[in-house]
Amino acid sequence: MHSEDTIAAIATAPGEGSISIVRMSGPDSLAIASKILRCAKPPLTERPSNTIVHGFVLDQGRDVDEVLVLVMRAPHTYTGEDVVELQGHGGTTSARRILRCALQAGARPAEPGEFTRRAFLNGRLDLVQAEAVLDLVRSSSDRAAEIALQQLEGRLSQILNSIYDNLVTVAADLAAAMDFPEDELHPQIGVNSTNTLKIVKKYIDRLLATWNEGRILRNGAMVVISGLANVGKSTLLNTLLEYDRAIVSPIPGTTRDFIEENFCLHGIPIRLVDTAGLRPSDCELEREGVRRAREQMLKADLHLYVLDASQPLSPVDAANIADRPREKCVVVLNKADLGLRVAPKDLPGHDAVVTSLLEKKGLDQLRMLMGAKIEISEMPALGEAGSHIAISERHRSLLLKAASEVEAALAMLNSGKEEDQFLASETIRTAVEYLALIIGRVYHDSLLDEIFSRFCIGK
């Protein structure tokens, strides 16, 4: 499985930091590092695993950066191969120059996710764990990070493997029963298989139920601010973000493009979108803004509809509010400081909050209501106590297919016909294949390409 070439990439986030890391993995990591480094003796290639060496990276005799060199030898490394990390001074320029030296000395630029891909190919992680690495890097809340780490540590893999093993056993039992049709255990095998399949089905359903939480934790809940022009939408965005992101002016139509920003509300990552004011306009730019706003609104997990409550409820506002799904909408009755001519009771059946963004009033209530509306259902108990799982879209689509195979197999077993029992065994094997694809017991390069291309380079 071991790769023949050695890959290199910058492993720290770009931008201003104190330390940046260039990481190499592959059989020539140590040799390449030796070529570009000036260190104290003994030479790098003779250093034991898990040691740190001080040195300088050289480019044609000139110092490029002062570094700490981390020597980690196969097989107990992230990738399972020889790994060298060069820790240089922070900033992008140093890291970029060190990487250039490594490439000139014979390393190949790593593809996105290639370090983790190698970890998978070398059996250090299964596919579900490898995916968790990306989730952990991308996690924008404690809750998301915890779920990702548990997945990385193998909690989800354990359940999937248990489902896999149970399905394999059932398929084998059914096949064996057919080989010895006169066996007296025969009826018992049917009952056992049915029971196991029912439990498996329950487990799959429980996993499927975690998908929505996974989706929100991975992608963030999309909250779209809309409303007529000049009612305070951008002010609401700035207030929720707690800094001035959007230009605010008394001139209607100030926000032309839609603005998207991220923040966390009660541990839930939120993608907050401020749309252009919904007013008909002769201006080409503004019309484009309104069109984009409508596009965003269709994808919303929650709508914040803002209106000027110091004015009587306009027919346009009333129509817009009626247009939004009630369970996904909070109406913000803003400008309460100018008097209140629309009250929550005027919008029966809708959740509404009276605010004065100018005086920063009503915000706690708004945040609480937003949290309650987005709040994801509590996790169904799964595996050992305290474990927390949230499957991804990829897991879901394969689990749905597996579930329908399991259901079909159950129906076949219920029919009591012998030929159906044979078919059930085959059907279960199909479900097993879907499980194998999730865990990565079976994979195609195209699947790996798809999964790892979403990683950053250096991971």
Give the binding site for a second copy (CB under 8 A).
Answer: 9, 11-21, 23, 50-54, 62-66, 68, 70, 72, 76, 89-94, 97, 115, 133, 136-142, 144-146, 149-150, 152-153, 247, 249, 251, 254, 256-257, 283-285, 386, 456, 458-459
Minimum CB distance to a second copy, residue 456 (Å): 6
**45 vs 51, which CB is nearer to a second copy?**
51
Minimum CB distance to a second copy, residue 379 (Å): 15
**147 vs 424, which CB is nearer to a second copy?**
147
**127 vs 398, which CB is nearer to a second copy?**
127
**143 vs 215, which CB is nearer to a second copy?**
143
Minimum CB distance to a second copy, residue 387 (Å): 11
Distance in angstroms (rounded) separating the CA atoms of residues 270 and 265 = 7
Minimum CB distance to a second copy, residue 95 (Å): 10
Minimum CB distance to a second copy, residue 12 (Å): 5
Minimum CB distance to a second copy, residue 51 (Å): 6
Minimum CB distance to a second copy, residue 261 (Å): 15
Minimum CB distance to a second copy, residue 283 (Å): 8
Distance in angstroms (rounded) separating the CA atoms of residues 168 and 176 = 12
**97 vs 328, which CB is nearer to a second copy?**
97
**83 vs 309, which CB is nearer to a second copy?**
83
**87 vs 421, which CB is nearer to a second copy?**
87
**13 vs 381, which CB is nearer to a second copy?**
13
Minimum CB distance to a second copy, residue 228 (Å): 19
**189 vs 276, which CB is nearer to a second copy?**
276
Distance in angstroms (rounded) separating the CA atoms of residues 306 and 234 = 10
**64 vs 223, which CB is nearer to a second copy?**
64
Minimum CB distance to a second copy, residue 249 (Å): 6
- What SS3 string covers the chain? CCCCCCEEEECCCCCCCCEEEEEEECCCHHHHHHHHEEECCCCHHHCCCCEEEEEEEEECCEEEEEEEEEEECCCCCCCCCCEEEEEEECCHHHHHHHHHHHHHCCCEECCECHHHHHHHHCCCCCHHHHHHHHHHHHCCCHHHHHHHHHHHHCHHHHHHHHHHHHHHHHHHHHHHHHHCCCCCCHHHHHHHHHHHHHHHHHHHHHHHCCHHHHHHHHHCEEEEEEECCCCCHHHHHHHHHCCCCCCCCCCCCCCCCCEEEEEEECCEEEEEEECCCCCCCCCHHHHHHHHHHHHHHCCCCEEEEEEECCCCCCHHHHHHHHHCCHHHEEEEEECHHHCCCCCHHHCCCCEEEECECCCCECHHHHHHHHHHHHCCCCCCCCCCCCCCCCCCHHHHHHHHHHHHHHHHHHHHHHHCCHHHHHHHHHHHHHHHHHHHHHHCCCCCHHHHHHHHCCCCECC
Virtual torsion, Cα 354, 355, 356, 359, nearest 10 deg = 120
